[in-house]
Amino acid sequence: VLLSAYRFLSLSSVSTSRYVSTLVIAEHEGGAVKAPSISAVVAAKSFSDVASISLLLAGSGPSLHEAASHAASCHPSISQVLVADSDKFKNPLAEPWAKLVHLAQQSGGYSHILAASNSFGKNVVPRAAALLDVSPITDVIGISESHTFVRPIYAGNALSTVRYTGANPCILTIRSTSFPVSQKTVDSRFKQAPISQVDLSTFDEDLGKSRYISHTCQDSERPDLGNARFVVAGGRALKSAENFKMIEKLATKLGGAVGATRAAVDAGFVPNDLQVGQTGKIVAPELYMAFGVSGAIQHLAGMRDSKVIVAVNKDADAPIFQVADYGLVGDLFEVIPELLEKLPEK
């Protein structure tokens, strides 16, 4: 049933094109392309018969142009950078972005369109797919052929292999944790890809019903949760926001990010952008330390791909121990202070 749900109706329009030309919908911040968008380029590169990868950037002002220069040299597989410079794209509203993707598709005739599976991608891609009259495939974690993809189902408890048989373009969101960007790739200097402006003369002025109101974010010296090498996470067992500061101290000591379970977020210990799991962030750091986290399937869905998982829980039967590489049955109120004392400063 699941497979047939992905067997899209128009069998007659199955792509027979041998070459894959891909458009990557990219986000930028502070004059640089965001890491999840570079992961989408890595994913696009895994099509065996890839012909070209175009990166679409939009926004306005000097930071857009800095980001375009960064995009032109940030990955050797990018063959061109398309820049849409307009105030309409100053904020990440899905309606104008979806129309922009539609416009880019009309002139580029891409076989595939990719975006990272984050809140931006999840917002834009379904609308763009609707305008293009195709069905998107979301949360792709593996690409075996140009139209065959692996994606998790049942909160990550099973993997489904789906084949796209619809019309072009095949539009996907990819999990950036499954397509890591090697530091070597980012650090190297490559030949600059050409940068071209998107012709917006035919862009539909009607921007839809959404209006941008404001954006608030917490300034933090810590690495972004989605890309951090180390994550220290706490659960309901921390009991209060005050106690949760122990988790923050440990993360600071390790130079890592802070994560939390939904129970900890719902209890108000930390803001919801720290939630890891099915309805939070998906992370796959080198080290994930979980303190007082039971290991509910919805939490595991967001962190089970971490390279090394360390769990501290006072219940020896807690499900988190089934995925942990190192487990300690103990009281976090004793273990964390001891770790803080014994770990060297970073």
Residues engaged in binding ligand FAD (CB under 6 A): 235-237, 261-264, 275-280, 292-294, 296, 298-299, 302, 312-315, 318, 331-333
Pull the structure tokens for residue 215: 């954006």
Phi, psi (deg, nearest 5) at residue 82? -105, 130
> Shortest Cβ distance from residue 260 to ligand FAD (Å)?
7
Query: 83 or 303: whose CB is closer to ligand FAD?
Result: 303
Query: 110 or 269: whose CB is closer to ligand FAD?
Result: 269
Query: 236 or 253: whose CB is closer to ligand FAD?
Result: 236
Q: Does 298 show up as a binding residue in the annotation?
A: yes
Q: Does 275 show up as a binding residue in the annotation?
A: yes
> Shortest Cβ distance from residue 328 to ligand FAD (Å)?
9
Amino acid (one-letter) located at 188? S
Which stretches of the chain are DSSP H helices? Answer: 2-5, 35-45, 62-73, 94-108, 119-132, 183-187, 241-254, 262-266, 297-303, 320-323, 332-342
> Shortest Cβ distance from residue 295 to ligand FAD (Å)?
7
CA-based angle 326:331:336, to the nearest 5?
75
Query: 128 or 270: whose CB is closer to ligand FAD?
Result: 270
Rounded to whole angstroms, the Cα distance separating 320 from 259 reads: 15
Rounded to whole angstroms, the Cα distance separating 283 from 288 reads: 9
> Shortest Cβ distance from residue 263 to ligand FAD (Å)?
3
Q: What is the DSSP string of 247-283?
A: HHHHHHHHT-EEEE-HHHHHTTSS-GGGBBSTTSB--
Q: Does 261 show up as a binding residue in the annotation?
A: yes
Residue 216: exposure state from Cβ atoms within 10 A (0-12, 13-18, ≥19): exposed
Q: Does 214 show up as a binding residue in the annotation?
A: no
Rounded to whole angstroms, the Cα distance separating 320 from 299 reads: 9
Nearest residue to ligand FAD by CB is 277
> Shortest Cβ distance from residue 266 to ligand FAD (Å)?
8
> Shortest Cβ distance from residue 234 to ligand FAD (Å)?
8
Q: Does 279 show up as a binding residue in the annotation?
A: yes
Q: Does 293 show up as a binding residue in the annotation?
A: yes
> Shortest Cβ distance from residue 153 to ligand FAD (Å)?
14
Query: 178 or 294: whose CB is closer to ligand FAD?
Result: 294
Rounded to whole angstroms, the Cα distance separating 286 from 156 reads: 19
Query: 25 or 332: whose CB is closer to ligand FAD?
Result: 332
Nearest partner of 135 among 8, 47, 25, judged by Cα: 8
Q: Does 117 show up as a binding residue in the annotation?
A: no
Query: 252 or 278: whose CB is closer to ligand FAD?
Result: 278
Q: Does 236 show up as a binding residue in the annotation?
A: yes
Helical pair 241-254 and 332-342, crossing angle rounded to 10 deg: 30
Instruction: Give the Å distances, CA to CA, from 270 to 199, 222, 235, 295, 331.
Output: 44, 15, 10, 18, 21
Phi, psi (deg, nearest 5) at residue 272? -75, -10
Q: Does 18 show up as a binding residue in the annotation?
A: no
Annotation: binding site for FAD:
236, 261-262, 275-279, 292-299, 313
Annotation: binding site:
236, 261-262, 275-279, 292-299, 313
